[in-house]
Amino acid sequence: MQALSDTVFTFDARGVAKRFRHAAIFGALEALHHGETMRFINDHDPLPLLGQIQQRYGEQIRYNYQQRDASQVVIDFSIHLADAEPAPQQNAGGCGGGGGCGCSGG
């Protein structure tokens, strides 16, 4: 992850092997703290991933498309812990309780 500024980080998924992408994206999101943003770049619209993020993190992670076309998709994911409830945890791996996601209960 490369910092664009103090609170926006770039994650270019195009360079990550497809079988590792979702795990790498979850790990990157979980490393963020309240108020930080990850700028996600991909070669396609990751609709299944967006559904997984919503199910896994609820309102803690919000997203906004910056670019959405056939050649490139850019999405800003932002972390909102102060005013969001964590998504209910299921026994399907959880988030691992990383740095900022808040779903570890700590």
Q: What is the pLDDT of residue 84?
A: 56
| Strand ranges, E, within the chain | 2-3, 8-12, 37-42, 61-68, 73-79
pLDDT on residue 78 = 95
Token pair belonging to 53: 């993020």
Q: Domain 2-79 falls in which CATH fold?
A: Translation Initiation Factor IF3 (3.30.110)
pTM of the model: 0.74
> Is the pLDDT score of 81 beyond 50?
yes
Alpha carbons 89 and 86: distance in angstroms, whole number: 8
pLDDT band at 95 (very low <50, low <70, confident <90, very high): very low
pLDDT in tens, 15-70: 999 999 999 999 999 999 999 999 999 999 999 999 999 999 999 999 999 999 99
| 11 pLDDT above the threshold of 70 | yes
Tell me: pLDDT of 83 over 90.
no
